[in-house]
Amino acid sequence: RRVAVLISGRGSNMVSLIEAASAPDFPAEIALVLSNRPDAAGLERARQAGIATAIIDHKDHPTREDFEQAMDAVLTEHGIEFICLAGFMRVLTDWFVERWAGRMINIHPSLLPLFRGVHTHRRALEEGVLIHGCTVHFVVPELDAGPIIAQAAVPVIPGDTEESLAARILVQEHSLYPQALRMISDGSARLENGRVVFSESW
Ligand code: GRF
């Protein structure tokens, strides 16, 4: 299936998806990288990998709906069937989320349902949790609240800073996201009545 990766910045998760999907047996193709920021570093990395790119700058659009209509048009133009949000920093309206319901996933840098929203690593350190991690989940209208597909945990180590913790988790993100996309794309994980169910062979 044809997948678009939506980014706003660095795009390291995007790179891990592109690399995984370049394997001949991978059940999905990264057909487009779309950024809402013209200066996103990930765009150049996508071009280098030979992936089609598009920029829909939210600043060029008067409303969120208008911005999302423009994104939706580009996604349709490229025959996109599935979306991976990867560091995409715009909140999506219910219209867009419903339109892509069951066909849009996100990676979030915490063990959901803990630490929804931003600054997850700072908040994890403030709370003193000893286990932290990342989650891939389906996107629903409520922020960072959708059905969970995959998670990875890491220890919090004495002396950790936001940066050291983020870096330890990012390593896990880079293997978790392709793994989750693979499971959804080959049917070994699927959405049923608002929950993710896993096939027995997995
Ligand atoms: C990642 O930590 C991801 O979990 C979060 O934003 C960051 C994006 O990093 N949603 P990158 O752009 O993929 O390098």
- Report DSSP state, residue 115: S
pLDDT in tens, 141-183: 999 999 999 999 999 999 999 999 999 999 999 999 999 999 9
Nearest CA to ligand 1 atom 2: 109
pLDDT at position 132, please? Answer: 98
The 2-7 sheet, strands edge to edge: 53-55, 29-35, 2-7, 82-85, 104-108, 131-138, 148-155
Over residues 110-123, mean pLDDT: 98
Kindly give the distance from the C-alpha atom of residue 159 to the centroid of ligand 1, in angstroms, as a whole number.
Answer: 23
Ligand 1 pocket, mutate which of 173, 174, 176 (most atoms under 8 A from CB): 173
Determine the atom of ligand 1 nearest the C-alpha atom of 106: 10
Q: Name the pLDDT band for 188 (thresholds 50, 70, 90).
A: very high
Nearest CA to ligand 1 atom 14: 12
Kindly give the distance from the C-alpha atom of residue 87 to the centroid of ligand 1, in angstroms, as a whole number.
Answer: 4
Active centre residues (catalytic): 108
Over residues 63-87, mean pLDDT: 98
What was the ipTM of the complex prediction?
Answer: 0.97
Report residue 100 as tokens. Answer: 């892509």
User: Would the annotation count 193 as a binding residue?
Assistant: no
Find, among 18, 24, 97, 93, the residue nearest to 52 by Cα.
18
DSSP 74-90: HHHHTT--EEEESS--S
User: Would the annotation count 201 as a binding residue?
Assistant: no
Around ligand 1, the residues with Cβ closer than 6 Å are 7, 9-14, 42, 86-87, 107-109, 134, 170, 173
Kindly give the distance from the C-alpha atom of residue 182 to the centroid of ligand 1, in angstroms, as a whole number.
Answer: 19
Kindly give the distance from the C-alpha atom of residue 91 to the centroid of ligand 1, in angstroms, as a whole number.
Answer: 15
User: Would the annotation count 199 as a binding residue?
Assistant: no
pTM for this entry: 0.97
Neighbouring C-beta atoms of residue 77, cutoff 10 Å = 10
